[in-house]
Amino acid sequence: MAGLIVYPEDGFEADGRQHLAGLHDRDATLEGGIRLVAGGSWGDIQLGVNADIENEHNGVVAYATYGYAIDRGNFTIAPEVSWRYRDRKNSDYYYRVSTEQATAATRAPHRLNGETDTFRAGYSASYTIDARWSVHHSAHVTVLDDEIDASPLTVDDEPVAASLAVLYRIL
């Protein structure tokens, strides 16, 4: 079990984006929570819950992730699937468009009917070059809840994220 403080990937700056004209920025807020991690020969599972600790929206996020690492010498690949629940306060803060903020650019107001769920699938991979150097890569696709997908704030209905990093260990 671990206590944690995270800065989520959510939020946006409305400046300079045509489809966000007239909207207030949705700044990501610090979230505090707990995470339970268990693992074995069957894989790894993480269960967690985070809450807004800056009193911006006072919402809650819960999540579950399952991954299975496959080691082949210096190369490791770990497919994973995850689920994320957002309560109404969190969903509204990031994806609702009020009547006052609705413009021609954002079409109509958008009110969410409640909690939302998203699902994600992907993998992470790493290759160890030597004791200090390694390369890491990950790619994921997220399937958004219909409520989030219908929001004018959402550009992609199934966003894809990828990363590539080179790591040098100092110690």
Residues 67-116 pLDDT 10s: 999 999 999 999 999 999 999 998 888 888 777 776 655 556 666 777 88
pLDDT band at 123 (very low <50, low <70, confident <90, very high): very high
- Tell me, yes or no, if the pTM score tops 0.75: yes
Query: Taking a C-beta distance cutoff of 8 angstroms, is the pair 114, 88 a contact?
Result: yes
CA distance linking residue 65 with residue 121, whole number of Å: 10
Write the DSSP assignment of 89-125 as a string of letters: HHHHHHH-B-TTT--TTT-S-B---S-EEEEEEEEEE
pLDDT band at 59 (very low <50, low <70, confident <90, very high): very high
- Each domain of the chain, given as residue ranges in start order, spans 2-168
Residue 125 burial by Cβ neighbours in a 10 Å radius (0-12, 13-18, 19+): middle
